[in-house]
């Protein structure tokens, strides 16, 4: 059993959890993920870590309630426990001294992006942050990101806050010499960012968490096509070269269980709870 040390609602339906998991906290590097299970009947939920505190022995994840399993997690409180917590999984992100690094995050994935941005900042890079959300009141981790970025941009899909869409990125690419781009967010956003950086040949790293079960290379559910080769996101990633990823296939495969996911959610909300 793993204890929830902190729970904070960042915005409606997006929660931050700090779990007590000393062994994992000591070993985790930015870019890696965990798999958790709320209870005996629960799904294995993969989440890229947003921070760790090795001394305190905790790891931090931020989770968006998008279906039954994530909703169930969202309903837990500080002091509650989850049944399973496994990690650190996946390869660590490459943290080097690149020069000027652009960190573009969207939605809930701004949180794990912060973990990488912080490490890149500490490694002596000039970090330019750009975070976004659908609309103003959906923005998360703004203050955290500001702290580790030398320059900072905010954007929303509807323009209620900051720039509208990814226009700022186009300008930055045009005006500045960017050495590396890290992008974490919805697949469509990462695809768009990768397309924008391609003409400038800026190395662009995406962090992919497709549907996966074991998270250790055993099931192959998370297979992605990268540069024409089939790779497993869980062990070969989760970071990949955004210019090589087949995003169309990734999006299709992500929707594979949509009908079942809806069914499970309805079943849960209408009281067929397995808690």
Partner 1 sequence: MSKPKPKVRKEVISMSKQGLEERIQNFNEVAFGYAEEEAVAEAERCLQCKKAPCVKACPVEVDIPEFIRLIKEHRFDEAIKKVKEKNSLPAICGRVCPQEEQCQADCTMGKIGDPISVGRLERFVADWERERGYDVPQKSASTGKRVAIVGAGPAGLTVAADLTKLGHEVVVFEALNKPGGVLVYGIPEFRLPKAIVAAEAEYIEKLGVTIKTNAVIGKLYTVEELLESFDAVFVGTGAGLPRFMRIPGENLCGIYSANEFLIRVNLMKAYKFPEYDTPVWVGKKVVVIGGGNSAMDSARSALRLGADEVWVVYRRSRKEMPTRMEEVENAEEEGIKFKFLSNPVRYFGDERSWVKGIECIAMELGEPDESGRRRPIPIKGSEFIIDVDTVVVAIGNTANPLIQQTTEGLEVTKWGTIVVDEETGKTSKEGVYAGGDIVSGVATVISAMGAGKRAARAIHEYLMNKR
The structure tokens listed for 209 are: 């968490």
Q: Segment near partner 1 (CB under 8 A), from 83-91, 105-113, 118-126, 148-156?
A: 83-91
Residue 113 CA to residue 106 CA, distance in Å, equals: 9
- Does residue number 110 form part of the binding site for partner 1 (CB under 8 A)? no
Strand partners, 184: 105
Instruction: Write down the least CB distance from residue 255 to partner 1, Å.
Output: 8
Torsion sign across C-alpha atoms 131, 247, 48, 179: negative
Sign of CA dihedral 128, 133, 134, 135: negative
Question: In terms of C-beta distances under 8 Å and separation of at least 24 residues, what long-range contacts does 163-172 make, across chains too?
Answer: 166/104, 166/132, 166/192, 166/193, 166/196, 168/130, 169/102, 169/104, 169/130, 169/193, 169/196, 170/196, 172/102, 172/128, 172/130
Which residue's CB is nearer to partner 1, number 37 or number 121?
A: 37
| 13-32 positions binding partner 1, by CB under 8 A | 23-24, 27
269 binds partner 1, rule: CB under 8 A: no
**By CB under 8 A, is residue 75 in contact with partner 1?**
no
Q: What are the Cα distances from residue 1, in Å, to 20, 50, 64, 82?
A: 10, 21, 22, 6
Tell which one of 57, 165, 186, 217 touches partner 1 (CB under 8 A). Answer: 217
Q: Which is nearer to partner 1, 79 or 228 (CB)?
A: 228
Stretch that binds partner 1, among 58-66, 113-121, 167-175, 253-261 (CB under 8 A): 253-261
Q: Considering the rule CB under 8 A, would residue 136 count as an interface residue with partner 1?
A: no
- Part of the chain binding partner 1 (CB under 8 A), chosen from 11-19, 95-103, 199-207, 245-253: 245-253
- At 50, give phi and psi (nearest 5°): -105, -15
The number of residues that bind partner 1 (CB under 8 A) is: 42
7 interacts with partner 1 by CB under 8 A = no
* Residue of 11, 95, 187, 221 interacting with partner 1 (CB under 8 A): 221
- Under the rule (CB under 8 A), what is the footprint of partner 1? 23-24, 27, 37, 41-44, 68-69, 83-89, 213-214, 216-221, 223, 225, 230, 249, 252-253, 255-257, 260-261, 263-264, 267-268, 272, 274
């Amino acid at each position: 059993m793993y204890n929830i040390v902190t729970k904070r609602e960042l915005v409606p339906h997006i929660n931050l959890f700090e779990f007590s998991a000393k062994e994992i906290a000591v070993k985790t590097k930015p870019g890696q993920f965990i798999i958790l299970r709320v209870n005996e009947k629960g799904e294995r939920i993969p989440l890229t870590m947003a921070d760790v505190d090795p001394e305190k022995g905790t790891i931090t994840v931020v989770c968006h309630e998008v279906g039954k399993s994530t909703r169930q997690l969202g309903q837990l409180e500080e002091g509650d426990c989850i049944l399973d917590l496994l990690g650190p999984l996946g390869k660590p992100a490459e943290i080097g001294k690149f020069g000027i690094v652009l960190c573009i995050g969207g939605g809930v994935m701004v949180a794990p992006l912060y973990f990488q941005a912080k490490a890149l900042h500490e490694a002596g890079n000039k970090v330019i942050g750009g975070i976004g959300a659908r609309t103003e009141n959906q923005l998360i981790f703004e203050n955290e990101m500001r702290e580790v970025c030398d320059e900072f941009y905010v954007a929303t899909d509807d323009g209620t806050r900051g720039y509208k869409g990814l226009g700022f990125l186009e300008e930055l690419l045009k005006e500045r010499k960017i050495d590396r781009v890290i992008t974490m967010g919805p697949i469509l956003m990462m695809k768009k960012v990768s397309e924008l950086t391609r003409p400038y040949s800026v190395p662009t790293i995406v962090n992919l968490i497709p549907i996966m079960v074991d998270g250790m290379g055993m099931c192959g559910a998370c297979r992605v096509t990268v540069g024409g080769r089939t790779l497993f996101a869980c062990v070969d990633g989760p970071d990949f070269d955004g210019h090589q990823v087949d995003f169309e296939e990734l999006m299709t495969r992500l929707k594979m269980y949509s009908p079942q996911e809806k069914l499970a959610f309805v079943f849960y909300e209408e009281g067929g709870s397995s808690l």
